[in-house]
Amino acid sequence: MQVTEFLNENPQSMGSDLLAELQGHTHFYNKVVHQLPAAVYACNAEGYVTFYNDAAAKLWGRKPEIGRDLWCGSWKIFDSDGVTPVELSECPMAVTLREGKPVRGVEVIVECPDGTRRNVAPHPDPLFDEAGKMLGAVNLLVDITPLKQKENALRESETRYRQMAEELEIRVAERTEELSIANMALQRSNAELEQFALAASHDMQEPLRKIITYCKLVEQEADADNGNAQAYIEKIMRSSERMGTLIKDILNYSRLIHIDEQFVPTNLNVVLKRVLEDLELGLQQREAVLKIDDLPTVRAIPVHMVQLFFNLIGNSLKFCKPAVPCELRITASTLHLEDATKLGLSDDHSYCEIIVTDNGIGFDQEFAANIFKIFNRLNARDKYEGTGIGLALCEKVVSVHSGVIFAVSAENMGTSMHVVLPLAG
């Protein structure tokens, strides 16, 4: 029963002025309670609903009958699993009235007559008079449906992400296994290739040595007046020497497949000094003029650096212009990080750029990428010696050392070989 109804039915219990004042206050508070967004209702000690606001009626989907509906105005109640029914006599309000204490931490699902459902957290509290007698209870129903929807969506997302992570983990494991198998196969292939190269170099060089030896004996005993015989012998000698050089170059290239040596700080000034000593005769024949900067120390395999500079400088000497002294300029500078990034290099290291520039015959820049391909030649063999492996070996060495190499050139304008390598330390 509403307080207003009680006062209206019992006006004789108080004066008219006091009655009017109380009725005014009661009407005001009833209006406030009805306009609350939270669902509130009350029951007497026997469990009959005596009051409810508009939010409670909206939550239940119905208007209960005052003094007739017991414990609440719900049509049906289910446990939080949404499956197990809860008898109205066991709802939180009924428990509070029966035990005389509040109920907390409970969640139920209220089903309306139209079948819609809401997740509700009830907060029933008993009401006592001054003597401690329970008069009834009031219940605040908190609609937590939006929160549960978000929790369910989050749970579904977590489940989906977990499934995706598990699938990704499986794919990564499968891919790792595939790469492991492929790597083992590659290692076997490389080992077989290295064995082949070693065997080929040994088995092929021995016949070559015999050919060269017998050619020299024939040359000594051949009739000096027989020009054709001498020419044939010279051709055999040149072809044999070229084949020997090719075998050695192939062997050097194949050895780069396996990196057994350690990377150590390597002073390129020391490396270059050794290379220039090995190329001393060629430098003298080409009347080479050298201008060399102080070179840095890089993190490298020393023997690989020797191969690199031997082939770069040897290539410049090979392609000098006829009857023109060969000019070689070797510069070194620290590479800026942004320039290293543009070249696709990792930002984990500092890099130096070494440029070997000559005044040779050069080549068209459109062929710059082709010169590093194995057995690729831009010039006829009868004009310029070589196996087509030297610059391919340079590219392989630089790649092994986590660097890059590229060429800048123009026909009859010389060539600049740019080598970028990680600095030591």
Residue 376 domain flag: yes
Residue 378 is predicted with a pLDDT of 54
Boundary of a domain, candidates 241, 258, 275:
258
Same structural domain, 265 and 363? yes
Same structural domain, 349 and 310? yes
CATH number where 124 lies: 3.30.450.20
Strands 117-128 and 108-111: antiparallel
Residue 139 domain flag: yes
Same structural domain, 265 and 381? yes
Euclidean distance between CA atoms 61 and 141, whole angstroms:
14
CATH number where 254 lies: 1.10.287
Residue 261 is predicted with a pLDDT of 64
Residue 309 domain flag: yes
Euclidean distance between CA atoms 221 and 212, whole angstroms:
14
Strand, helix or coil for residue 351: strand
In this structure, what token pair is assigned to residue 79? 């446990």
Closest alpha carbon to 93 in 53, 50, 38, 149: 50
**What share of the chain in percent tops pLDDT 70?**
73
**Tens digit of each residue's pLDDT (9 = 90 or more) over 313-350:** 988 888 888 888 899 999 999 988 888 888 888 887 88
Closest alpha carbon to 418 in 367, 374, 355: 355
CB-CB contact of 381 with 245 (8 Å): no
Same structural domain, 229 and 299? no
Number of H-type helices and E-type strands within the chain: 11, 13
Same structural domain, 198 and 316? no
Residue 12 is predicted with a pLDDT of 46
Same structural domain, 278 and 230? no
Rg of the chain over Cα atoms, rounded to whole angstroms, equals: 48
Residue 5 is predicted with a pLDDT of 46
In this structure, what token pair is assigned to residue 209? 């040595």
Angle made by CA atoms 111, 117, 122, in degrees to the nearest 5: 75
Q: Where do runs of H (alpha helix) occur along 222-286?
A: 227-255, 268-278, 280-285
Boundary of a domain, candidates 227, 258, 289:
258
The CA-atom distances, in angstroms, between 16 and each of 4, 7, 238, 286 are 14, 11, 137, 131
Closest alpha carbon to 355 in 395, 320, 309, 392: 309
Residue 10 is predicted with a pLDDT of 47
Residue 19 domain flag: no
Residue 230 is predicted with a pLDDT of 67
Same structural domain, 410 and 277? yes
Residue 161 domain flag: no
Same structural domain, 300 and 193? no
CB-CB contact of 124 with 137 (8 Å): yes
Residue 356 is predicted with a pLDDT of 93
Same structural domain, 287 and 410? yes
Query: What's the domain count of the chain?
Result: 3
Boundary of a domain, candidates 220, 241, 258:
258
The CA-atom distances, in angstroms, between 117 and each of 105, 149, 373 are 19, 12, 73
Residue 289 domain flag: yes
Instruction: Residue 229: give the domain boundaries.
Output: 173-258
Residue 23 domain flag: no
Residue 158 domain flag: no
CATH number where 338 lies: 3.30.565.10
Same structural domain, 359 and 382? yes
- Segments of the chain with pLDDT less than 50: 1-15, 18-19, 22-23, 25, 380, 382
Same structural domain, 420 and 290? yes
Euclidean distance between CA atoms 24 and 11, whole angstroms:
14
Residue 205 is predicted with a pLDDT of 62
Same structural domain, 274 and 207? no
